[in-house]
Structures are given as structure tokens and as C-alpha cells.
Amino acid sequence: MDVTAIVMAAGEGTRMKSNHAKVSHKILGKPMACWVIDAALEAGCNRVVVVVGSHSDEVRALIADAYEGTPHASAIECVEQAERLGTGHAVRTALEATGINAGPVVVLNGDLPLIQAQTIRTFAETVSGGAHAGAVLTFTPPVPFGYGRIELDADGGVNRIIEQKDCTPEQNAELLECNAGCYAFDGALLAAHIGEITNDNAQAEYYLPDMVEILKSHGHGVTIFHCDDYRDGLGVNSRVQLAELTAIARDRINERLMTEGVTFIDPAQAWIDPDARIGRDTVVWPQTHLIGACTVGEGCQLGPNTRLTDARVGNDCVLDETVGIDVVIENGVTCGPRCYLRQGTHLLDRAHVGTHVEIKKSTIGEGSKVPHLSYIGDTTMGSDVNVGAGSITCNYDGKNKNATVIGDRVFIGSDTMMVAPVNIGDDAITGASSCITRDVPSGALGLERSDQRILEGYTERRRARL
């Protein structure tokens, strides 16, 4: 079944009080529009048309950033709604720009980030058999105020949609089926009749819900599709709702991970990206954040206070108060507390990075240790190296970044400055507080240190002068 999804992402979102498009605001690190697009793709929609308008360049850019180079890139296209003349006008613009005129068409709001793939898949099926020309996605939220209500006819079809402001007190109390603002249509009938929507209303806009009456007037049936999980129908119109839906998304993700064998010390204090993957028997401590496409293996300890972005972590690692951005961490690695792993860092099996250590664009070899108070940048380090406290690779000369190469089983004395470019051979040693500016051969001691002078009685003489 070929299904097209039209994602409405052209709105201004004035209640967000933002300089950015509403659908660009993120939930757990992912823009809202991408949540909806991902759900549509997972549902099997072979074509996703995103209608952009307000902040169109921004929305196009975030979609390109998310999907260019992926298998789904060819299925997604953006259509510009130059004039925002209502939801009916947006859908008509999409149809005219793309030539869609067949198959089920689901119209989804870009600010509905919690809608699930299974909901979209089944929603589309309601108009695939010919029995119905259209369907309205409905739900029953705990607090229905603010949502349009669905009045059903005797056969269970849609009689009419009543906006909240037009509901009588009795209708507010009795009509609990709410309109989620999403619609499914037979594509051929939608294309044939979309032009019949008029703007004869106070706002002079073309409203997509008018398609319900139009299709019925032509003798076609319109039904409802009720969300089993009311959270699928919740939208974002304010910063408060953004926070509320973020918490719901967090809970959904963490609940799924717990059913897969992950332990959360406090699920309410762990924020996991929907694209992240965590292996069984891993323990997630409070204030842990996984952002982007992170993968974490089995038997790890994450946190507390750990933030990983687009990181790949192996099995049996301990990452305590660790920040890692675009890094690869192999098996049995220990990090922290309070270490910073910058882009391009690669920690091999059993490596250790300790307290107040920063590593950038470097490989730390198997079993090697950078225990505390050090900076390692643009470095290739061999296995079983020990780096003493306060040691630094001086990789930047004011113009270029230069490389440091450290061999296997090297002992770097505390407070060693390694001025790159420099090579330190296997089994070499550097003396504490040395400034290494030349290569150190394998098995050699590199020592740079001024002779210590002792001036007896200096303190008394100094006091006498003051």
C-alpha cells in the first residue's frame, strides 16, 4: 500500500514566543518535525511531503541535516506555502506541487511529536479499503478543554466537528471525543474535491476540516480513528506544553528500555534520545543525557551527571560525570569523574581517563591511563601508557595543530609538557616537570629540568627588607 504523509510545518507558532519555527524546537535533542517524519517513515509511508512556510529556510535546513545521506532522503520533500491561508490551502499547495492524486494520504501536524508509527499505519488503513473517503484522528485527553469535539451520527460516522469556542456547556460535558487535527483521505477523492474548500469565514482562511462536510455532501463516508493512547494526540503550542511532552517522551523511552533490560536508578532524571540504543544490564544513573545516535553496550554504568552526544560505547564501561561528544569508547573503559572527551577521541579497551582530564582528537591505547589533571590533544598513544598528573600535549603553535605520538609502555612523569610535533618511543620515560621539545628514543629517559638552588636564610633577609 503506497501511503503519502503530508506534514504541516508552515505555522508561525506565535504562542511559543520564539525567533524560530515552532516545529524546530527540540524534544530530547530532536526537532519536533523530525519526530513526526520519523513516525511516518516507520509507519511505511513511501512519500513524506513537508509543507513549510514560516522560517522555511530553517525548517528545510534541519530536515536536510537530519536526512541527507540516509536511505530515507529520497522519500522526503519540502513544499513552500508562500501565503499562509489555512490548513486547507496548505494541503492543496502540497497536492498541486507534487501531483499526489491516489492512495491513502495522511495529513499530520508537525507539532504532534508523540504520534506513533503504529497509529499512523492503522490510521491510513481506514481509508484504504474504499469504505471511507476520510477519517479524523481522535483521542480523549484527561483535560479536553481547548480541543475541537467530534459529534458522531447514528452510524458512528462523523456528523460534524465543533470547535472549542463554539461548544455549549452541554457539549463540553458530553462530547469527549476530541479532534487531534490529523486526517486521512482517499487520495483520489481528496485531489478531486480539495478545490471546493472556501474561505467564507471570519478569518478568510481555507480550513481542512471542511473536507468532512464536502466529502459527505458527495455521498462519501467519513469516520473517526480513535487513538488507544491519548498521548499520540497531544500537540505543542507553548513552552509549557513543550516541557510536558518532553517528559512524556522521556517516560516512554525509559519504560521501553527498562523492558529491554536496562536499569534506571531514577527514570525521571535520565534523558535519552529516541535514536539512542542501550544494552541490557547497563545502569543509568540520574542526570544522564544521551543525545543523538548514541549506542551503549551491555553492563555499563552511565552517570551520574554524564552527557554523551553521538557517542559509541562498548561493554562494561564506567562513565562517571563524563561529557563525550562524537567519541568512540571501547570495552572495559573507565572515565571520570569530571572528564571531557571531545570530538575525535577514541579510547581503546581498558583505557582509563580520570578526574579533570580533557582529551581531543586522540587515541588512547589499550590499558593506557590518563588519571588526572591533564590535557591530551592530537595524540596517538600506545598501550599500557601511564600519564602523570598535570601533563599536557602542547599541540597548538598559534597557527597549526601538531601531533604527538607516544609509544607502548611509556611512563610520562607528572607535569610533563610535550611540545608537538614530538615522538616518544616505546618504554621511554619522561622526568617529572620536564618540557619535552625533542623526540625521546625508545627506552630512553627524557629529562628537562633546571638545577635546584638553595639559598639559606633567604626568608629572614626578605623580611628585613620589607
Binding residues for UDP-N-acetyl-alpha-D-glucosamine: 22, 81, 86-87, 148, 163, 179, 237, 342, 360, 375, 386
Q: At 160, give phi and psi (nearest 5°).
A: -165, 165
Query: Cα torsion for 315, 321, 326, 331, to the nearest 10°?
Result: -20
Q: At 63, give phi and psi (nearest 5°).
A: -70, -40
On the question of a cis peptide bond just before residue 304, with omega within 30 degrees of 0, the verdict is yes
Q: What is the DSSP string of 337-355?
A: SSEEE-TT-EE-TT-EEEE
Are residues 281 and 298 in contact, defined by beta-carbon separation less than 8 angstroms?
Answer: yes
Binding residues are 22, 81, 86-87, 111, 148, 163, 179, 237, 342, 360, 375, 386, 389, 395-396, 414, 432, 449
Q: Which three cell numbers mark 188?
A: 483520489
Query: Whole-angstrom Cα distance, residue 24 to residue 35?
Result: 10
Are residues 42 and 85 in contact, defined by beta-carbon separation less than 8 angstroms?
Answer: no
Binding residues for acetyl-CoA are 389, 395-396, 414, 432, 449
Query: Whole-angstrom Cα distance, residue 340 to residue 357?
Result: 6
Binding residues for Mg(2+) are 111, 237
Question: Which residue, among 184, 173, 172, has the nearest Cα to 138 in the 3D structure?
Answer: 184
Catalytic site residue from 132, 220, 346, 372: 372
For residue 372, indicate whether it is catalytic: yes
Query: Whole-angstrom Cα distance, residue 111 to residue 133?
Result: 25
384: burial class by Cβ within 10 Å (0-12, 13-18, 19+)? Answer: middle
Of the CA atoms within 13 Å of residue 5, those in its CB half-sphere come to 30
Q: At 192, give phi and psi (nearest 5°).
A: -70, -30
Q: Which three cell numbers mark 159?
A: 456528523
**Helix or strand run (H / E) with residue 319:** strand 318-319
Q: At 250, give phi and psi (nearest 5°).
A: -55, -45
Query: Would you name the residues annotated as active-site residues?
Result: 372
